[in-house]
Amino acid sequence: MMDIHQILRQLPHRYPILLVDRVTSIEKGVRIVALKNVTINEPFFTGHFPHRPVMPGVLMLEALAQAAALLAFDTLGVTPDENSVYYFAGIDSARFKRPVEPGDQLTLDVSLDRMKAGIFKFDARALVGDQLAVEAKLMCTMRTVA
Residue-wise DSSP of 39-53: -TT-GGGGTS-TTS-
Query: Going by C-beta distance under 8 Å and a sequence separation of 6 or more, which residues neighbour residue 64?
Result: 108, 110, 122, 124, 125, 126, 134, 136, 138
Identity of the residue numbered 124 = A
SS3 call for 121: strand
Among 5, 13, 48, 51, the one annotated catalytic: 48
- 13 annotated active-site: no
Residues marked as catalytic:
48
